[in-house]
Structure 1
């Protein structure tokens, strides 16, 4: 139902099972849980969601507005074949959303639903002192892995591979994911702040959004670190002139454009990228738009596009096997699709970047991830420095610095 402007949506997030997908003050939050589907397949999740929706009696005052009826939040593994974790769709009991000045609430209930708004929650408490330590590999060990990948690229075994590393955060107090969401929505307004299950972060990259018969994708590849108070115009010029970064970006754009082609009757793929400025880094970015064929769901498109060259590499099958062999860790949901789908199939699926996963067994711990695209001109020491910049959003969110 339509509601007055609810204010900051993150204030509704309750302790325990809560979900969020927010950007620039708009978005959707979910409270509670009425259903959950665990899987190792985006396609299986799409089938389950279609069946779940078919069994619902759905009434809405805002027909045709994406996200206003029943929806499910989801977080998916980067590579189900090399992960001990499972992907998940979560259907919240209550949804509060706002987009373009229009606000709404949806309640999913097995009995008579009521119109009462969920209660505003007390501000979450920070985790206190936080220590960060190398996890699977030290920075020096990971640098050697990058050097090994560069040699393989120069031998022609692969064109590009995206390698990630992890650090372990240990907090004095339990880590409340709502605290992280609050920090991220304020510091990284141009990113999509996500919280689904135990996966949380602020992603600058939209794998795919579908709404009103259109599909859009924001592709990021090619990065330069942004020191505090740096002249961004000079950094942007350097990034635009970097053949290494332009080559990396070209691979990523091509992979997404090819994936969307079968789902769209027409597409607009810009000839050159623009520079996206974030507080910690600058990225080369390209926004791709396509006119969808009838019946295409956002989850089906996400299944086609994932993993893109931006988070995996080129050729994809070779790069994916190299990642499993070289990184030595389980990425879990890092770099997988994260977002939501509504009853019409529309939705938003970002790539789970600039984030991490809360521990399932220790509420004082979480695992943070950062990765870099490696091509033949990559300098291993520079890639280590880039991961430090990409850890910054979560480090700041944890410490409140």
Structure 2
């Protein structure tokens, strides 16, 4: 149900389940599943015990306005304060868990928080069941039997993007001119594509294909946003935080030698090094007031995924007292990896150039529990799925040394993640 800013009282119970070591996706019913998965672990949920749809800010609002994050944080604090929780497991992701998706821009529709009625989680070889009701009652200790067959996607029809490939390359060229003219240092430009199936898309198919293809990424489904992001905005456990900054991309090679050469070219690229360091610097500035310790390696490493390879920097920090995970999410978004530098100039250029509304694309997506533990990623390599329609997004960082043709090719590599997930094996 939709809910005002004062949430209801909830009764929450978490019990341990015997671990069957099967995919958590297999527990999900059809409909609108919630999921956050990586390396065989994570949390999945279904049903809506309560939800909050956050209103967009008026047009003309600052592009870095954080109202939706502060409203979400207050709502979650009230929800936790009013909840009766029995937790027999006591791990991050047990007890009261709220899934969330936030839009890239504050003026867009689509920011929402959802507390599932049923959640199944797995961590460190332990599996648990959490049930949530709005009245005290007897909670089950076993999973309900509701499984329905997972449907293949079927034939897909592709529609025109908001901008043609030629128009998008022209937009990249214009952006490079703005950068070389000194108006900004970097802007991330995205493209979109639309796929239509003959029947409603079973999101469980996408989740299972994505988690198998990209096991080290974070496969997610929250209120229609579905994807497999490599970019961890933050993970919080206690007062410790970790983050993964990705910026600078090459495709994977056709063989080992080609792959190695592409990786070495990426590590040696001045253009990609600049793009990456702008993203790292934006994180350093954003986190500075919120942490007591901050550990950032001097140089990035190479992160190889199934379809692309990135420059990557692993960041560690310790939060100052009283700082929450959503405080950090609000401070970090948008990172230079998905927005640009300076932030406001880049956000305004994006809004006037892309010819589309990103919605939840490149916005924060993830979960937070009642103890403040959380995992939030950036919604990349993703699509918004509504019935039989999937709206795909992919982007790339533009700096002074960018080449429009190469940037177009990079977006095609990133589109491939969801395109392949939408394609049945025998299609």
TM-score of the two chains, using structure 1 as the length reference = 0.96
How far the C-alpha of 1:227 sits from its partner, in A, is 4.1
Of the structure 1 ranges 21-30 and 128-137, higher mean CA displacement relative to structure 2 is found in 128-137
Map residues 1-400 of structure 1 onto 2, 5 A cutoff: 1-6=15-20, 7-39=22-54, 40=56, 41-63=68-90, 65-81=91-107, 83=108, 85-109=109-133, 110-112=135-137, 113-119=139-145, 121-229=147-255, 231=257, 232-359=259-386, 363-400=387-424
How far the C-alpha of 1:105 sits from its partner, in A, is 1.2
Give the match's secondary structure for 1:262: helix
Give the match's secondary structure for 2:357: coil
**What CA distance in whole angstroms lies between the structure 1 residues aligned with 2:231 and 2:145?**
32
Give the match's secondary structure for 2:87: coil
Superimposed CA distance per residue, residues 265-320 of structure 1 (whole angstroms, 9 cap, x where no aligned partner):
11110000011101111000001100112232212211110000000000001000
Verify the 8 A CA contact 1:267 1:291 in the aligned structure 2: yes
**What CA distance in whole angstroms lies between the structure 2 residues aligned with 1:139 and 1:175?**
27
Give the match's secondary structure for 1:240: helix
Verify the 8 A CA contact 1:183 1:400 in the aligned structure 2: no
Give the match's secondary structure for 1:16: coil
How far the C-alpha of 1:103 sits from its partner, in A, is 1.5
How far the C-alpha of 1:328 sits from its partner, in A, is 1.2
Give the match's secondary structure for 1:253: helix
**What CA distance in whole angstroms lies between the structure 1 residues aligned with 2:28 and 2:284?**
36
Gaps of 5+ in 2: 1-14, 57-67
How far the C-alpha of 1:174 sits from its partner, in A, is 2.0
Give the match's secondary structure for 1:106: strand
TM-score of the two chains, using structure 2 as the length reference = 0.90
**What CA distance in whole angstroms lies between the structure 2 residues aligned with 1:270 and 1:254?**
12
**What CA distance in whole angstroms lies between the structure 2 residues aligned with 1:20 and 1:261?**
31
How far the C-alpha of 1:199 sits from its partner, in A, is 0.5
Verify the 8 A CA contact 2:34 2:46 in the aligned structure 1: yes
**What CA distance in whole angstroms lies between the structure 2 residues aligned with 1:73 and 1:13?**
15
